[in-house]
Amino acid sequence: MWWKDTFFNSNFFTGTVTFVVGLFAIILYFRQKNDRKRDAAKLILQEIRYAEQIIRIAKEHNYDYYLANELLPTNSWHKNIHFFIHELKETDIDLVSRFYSHSSYIDILIEKISDKKNDLVILKIPPETNSSAVPQTIQEFHFSSSRILKDVSEKVEFIYNTPAIDKLRSISEKKYFKFL
């Protein structure tokens, strides 16, 4: 009976318990970090797939985008790029960053076109003004905005089936610390 009191009150027991708890906390920290990394990779893959799908559909319709769609609703690449600095090469990071940059710009253009079209629809023409100038303005705006949107969209490089995205895909499927 005295050995129980001696063992549980000893520095060895206290040190062992402290070591085990510390080790468990470190393992839990790395597991959570890897889970966040895997989840970020899955989200980025989904965003790229979705944006490419919208661009392909618009391409089939002469780059006429549905104004309610947003290519990158969450845009998580720039928030989570730090997870992939050690996993991807610089060229891979540049490729994904360029895709996100082009897609973000398309989102901005779509938003501006939508706002402008809404402004033109809401515009009330006083009866004494020449109303024939307004349709001409609408046509000029539509032509210019469509041309800019087409130019930017044609420069988007589809990356979903590239080696860079394959690396992200493997990160998203990786299993860490399966025993916990």
> pLDDT by residue (tens digit) across 77-133?
999 999 999 999 999 999 999 999 999 999 999 998 888 877 766 665 555 555 555
Structure tokens at 91: 């060229």
- pLDDT number for residue 14: 79
- pLDDT number for residue 15: 80
- pLDDT number for residue 104: 94
Measure the CA–CA gap between 180 and 178, rounded to whole angstroms.
6
Q: Burial level of 98, CB count in 10 A (0-12/13-18/19+)?
A: middle
Interval 148-177 mean pLDDT: 90
Decide if pLDDT at 1 tops 60: no
Measure the CA–CA gap between 180 and 166, rounded to whole angstroms.
27
CB 149 within 8 A of CB 110: yes
Q: State the pLDDT confidence band at 69, using cuts at 50, 70 and 90.
A: confident
**DSSP assignment, residue 126?**
P
Interval 19-45 mean pLDDT: 92
- pLDDT number for residue 45: 97
Q: How far is CA 114 from CA 63, 103, 154, in A?
A: 15, 16, 20
Measure the CA–CA gap between 145 and 102, rounded to whole angstroms.
16
Provide the mean pLDDT of the chain.
84
- pLDDT number for residue 115: 84
